[in-house]
Structure formats: structure tokens, C-alpha cells
Amino acid sequence: MLNIGVLVSGGGSNLQAIIDDCENGEIKGNIKVVISNKEDAFGLERARKHNIRAVFEKNEDKVIKILKEENVDLVVLAGYLKIISPKFISEFENKMMNIHPSLIPSFCGDGFYGEKVHQAVIDYGAKVSGATVHFVNEEVDGGAIILQEAVPVYFEDTAEDIQKRVLVEEHKMLPRAIDLISRGKVEIIDGRVNILK
């Protein structure tokens, strides 16, 4: 059984997708703790509704301590709008994943988050966008890619339209990636992810 720690900064809709799949048995794991760097993040309320430990904490050393206290095997960044330090990454090397609302390596890196990503897609005139689940390393959005899904971009789209379309895929992809890890189906070879059959 995989022990999962989830870090959120906002509403936590991806967190809810993970909670739902843990509860219905789609993921062989359970969420031990949800931590937010924002006291009013609705993600904390989502956790409390499901009797999951919910913690507001800004101090990274304390976050690491909490995750270790809960024996967390996998840290999931689900809309966590804070850059992770090299120390934090080294503590959970190849055990920390993030979801990004574009097809990495496009529209990613420092400063690309939320609707800014989708507006950049429109401004560039891209015809497809999507979402990427990847491991976290010291380069922002630079870790090994686990899963990607594409969505179409239409000329009349607003950033909000693309965001909604991408979010539908995120809610499927993030739990799927966690499930693959929980079943030992993910291996990293030369900086690339191989998903075992």
C-alpha cells in the first residue's frame, strides 16, 4: 500500500480526484497527509471532509518532517505554487511528482502556472495543448515525464476554455500515474520513464 502525501496551494480539484480513486480502490494507496502553504486553501477542507490529516505549513523543513512522520512513499504536487528546494527534492528523489497544464517542454518552466500557461498557448497560436505528469527534479518542470495527454486548441478559445479542457485530463492522469507507481509499473532509465506492461 502506497503512502501518499499531497501538497496543494488552492482548491484541490486534482486532490479530490486522487481521494476518489483511493476510496474506490482504483489506486492501491492512501493519502496520509495534505499540506498547504496557504492557510485558506480549499484543498485542506477537502482533506478534512475525508478524515485526512490537513496541515497548513510554509516552512519547508517542517513539511519534510511531517511527510517523514507519515512514512510517505510518494509526494504529489497538485497545484502547489511554490518552488521546491534542492534539499527537499533530494529527500524524495524519484518519489515526488507534479502535474503541469501543458505538454512539456512547451509552455513550462519558471513563471508558467495557472491561466498564464493557457494564455501563452493562445498567444503562440498552438493548435494543441495538454497536461504532463512528471517527476520533480531541480529544473522547474524538467523531471522525467511519466504521462502526457493532448487536447485540441480552437481559434475562439479563451484561456479559461483551455484550462477546463486540460483539467478534465489532469483529473484522469494524476490518479493513473499514482496507480502505476503503486503497482511498480514505473521505472526511470537514463532520465526517461518506462511504463512496464
| HSE (side-chain half, CA atoms, 13 Å) at 155 | 0
**100 annotated active-site:** yes
Amino acid at 45: E
Q: Closest Cα to residue 81, out of 108, 114, 106?
A: 114
Contacts of 126 (CB under 8 A, 6+ apart): 106, 107, 153
Q: Are 78 and 15 in contact (CB under 8 A)?
A: yes
Of the listed 100, 118, 134, 171, which one is catalytic? 100
- Does the bond joining 105 to the residue before it have cis omega, within 30 degrees of 0? yes
Rounded to an integer, what distance in angstroms lies between the CA atom of residue 77 and that of residue 43?
Answer: 12
Tell me the catalytic residues.
Answer: 100
